[in-house]
């Protein structure tokens, strides 16, 4: 399915709280069990900084760059690539997938991206959020996640893998994704 040197990027998207991180970790666990080398990055961690850098600061680091996420992704991936990796699992909300693909490809130009959009019914999403969100911001996060889910459900999904998650656990979902993208069929010496 892939050349020896191709860079495969599995981009797991969906509204906040749907289970993107859990799915990423499960995909990683199944790949590790099969001895398939890979790396995992959560996009939230690429720009978790205060204060946010200005466009001028970013331009000094890398001319033309306006997003710290792209700079950080390029830096992290250069280390993994130097170690011989060719597979990367990334997760994030990705409300503007075309835009997000651009900053990802600016960081990793050779990436062949397979985008997965996780979907769930509103009761399922709310139940997952109730397990995760506590404190004064819980109601606001639930409303934000519902808005994200509704928007994503109404958008065109052409070119991406749509993954309905209701009634399925992480292991089953990870197995479905890995079967779809063929990473478990890869040669074991592939890094």
**Mean pLDDT, rounded, for 5-26:** 94
pTM assigned to the model: 0.89
pLDDT at res. 46: 96
> Cα(163)–Cα(152) distance, rounded to whole angstroms?
12
Q: Quote the mean pLDDT of the chain.
A: 90
pLDDT band at 5 (very low <50, low <70, confident <90, very high): low
Q: Is the pLDDT of residue 23 over 80?
A: yes
pLDDT band at 186 (very low <50, low <70, confident <90, very high): low
pLDDT band at 53 (very low <50, low <70, confident <90, very high): very high
Nearest alpha carbon to residue 24 among 5, 38, 7: 38
Q: Which domains does the chain have, with CATH numbers?
A: 7-185 (3.40.50.300)
**Mean pLDDT, rounded, for 29-58:** 95
pLDDT at res. 7: 95
> Cα(125)–Cα(128) distance, rounded to whole angstroms?
5
Q: Which residue has the tokens 């990870």?
A: 174
Instruction: Give me the percent of the chain exceeding a pLDDT of 70.
Output: 94
pLDDT at res. 66: 84
How many CB atoms are located within 10 Å of the residue 189 CB? 9
pLDDT band at 141 (very low <50, low <70, confident <90, very high): confident
Q: Is the pLDDT of residue 65 over 90?
A: no
Q: How far is CA 101 from CA 13, 25, 123, in A?
A: 12, 21, 30
pLDDT band at 138 (very low <50, low <70, confident <90, very high): confident
pLDDT at res. 6: 85
pLDDT band at 4 (very low <50, low <70, confident <90, very high): low
pLDDT at res. 179: 95
């Amino acid at each position: 399915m892939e050349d020896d040197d191709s860079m495969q990027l599995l981009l797991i998207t969906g509204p906040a709280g749907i289970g993107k991180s859990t799915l990423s970790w499960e995909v990683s666990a199944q790949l590790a069990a099969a001895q398939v080398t890979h790396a995992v990055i959560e996009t939230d961690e690429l720009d978790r900084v205060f204060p946010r850098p200005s466009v001028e600061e970013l331009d000094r680091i890398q001319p033309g760059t306006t997003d710290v996420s792209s700079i950080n992704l390029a830096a992290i991936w250069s280390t993994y690539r130097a170690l011989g990796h060719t597979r990367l699992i990334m997760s994030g909300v990705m409300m503007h997938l075309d835009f997000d693909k651009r900053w990802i490809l600016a960081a990793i130009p050779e990436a062949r991206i397979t985008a997965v959009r996780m979907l769930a019914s509103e009761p399922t999403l709310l139940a997952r959020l109730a397990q995760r969100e506590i404190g004064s911001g819980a109601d606001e996060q639930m409303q934000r996640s519902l808005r994200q889910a509704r928007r994503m459900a109404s958008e065109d999904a052409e070119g991406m893998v749509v993954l309905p998650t209701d009634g399925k656990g992480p292991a089953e979902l990870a197995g479905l994704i890995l079967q779809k993208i063929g990473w478990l069929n890869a040669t074991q010496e592939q890094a």
